[in-house]
A and B are shown apart, each in its own frame.
Chain A
Amino acid sequence: MAQIKSNKAQTRKTVIAIGDGPAIPSKKDAGLFTAWRVSLVGAIAIIAFLVTFKQDPYLAILKFVPDGILITFQVTVESIILALVIGLFTGLGRISKNRIINGIASVYVEVIRGIPLLVQLFYIYFALGRVVNLPAMVSAIIAMGICYGAYMGEIFRAGIESIHKGQMEAARSLGMTNAQAMRHVILPQAFKTILPPIGNEFVALLKDSSLVSILAVSDLLRRGREFASQSFNYFETYTMVALVYLVITLFLSKIVSIMEERISVD
Chain B
Amino acid sequence: MSTETRTVMVRMRNVYKYFGQLRALNNVSLDIYDGEKVVVIGPSGSGKSTMLRSINKLETVDAGDIIVDGININDEKTNINRVREEIGMVFQSFNVFPHMTVRENLNLAQMVVRKRTKEEAAAISKELLTKVGILEKADQYPGKLSGGQQQRVAIARALAMKPKLMLFDEPTSALDPEMINEVLDVMKKLAKEGMTMIVVTHEMGFAREVADRVIFMDFGAIIEEGTPEHFFKNPTEERTKLFLSQIL
Contacts and interface: CB of A to CB of B under 8 A. Distances in A.
B81 A167 contact: no
A173 B58 contact: yes
Nearest to B109: A174
Interface in B88-131: 88-89, 91, 93, 95-99, 108-109, 112-114
A166 B113 contact: no
Interface string A153-179: 000000000001011011111111100
Nearest to A173: B89
A170 B91 contact: yes
Contacts of A188: 99
Contact of B95 (A166, A176, A180, A192): A166
Interface string B62-96: 00000000000000000001101101110101011
B98 A169 contact: no
Interface in A124-177: 164, 166-167, 169-177
Contacts of B113: 174-176, 180
A175 B58 contact: no
Contacts of A164: 93, 95
Interface residues on chain B, size class? 20 to 34
Nearest to A191: B99
B154 to A, nearest CB: 8
B109 A189 contact: no
A184 B108 contact: yes
A189 B81 contact: no
B98 A170 contact: no
A167 B105 CA distance: 12
A68 to B, nearest CB: 41
B157 interface: yes
Given A175-B109, A189-B97, 10 more contacts: A164-B95, A166-B91, A167-B95, A170-B96, A170-B154, A173-B58, A173-B89, A174-B108, A174-B113, A180-B112
Interface of B: 56, 58, 81-82, 84-85, 87-89, 91, 93, 95-99, 108-109, 112-114, 154, 157-158, 161
Interface of A: 164, 166-167, 169-177, 180, 184-185, 188-189, 192
7 contacts: A169-B91, A170-B96, A174-B113, A174-B161, A175-B109, A180-B113, A185-B97
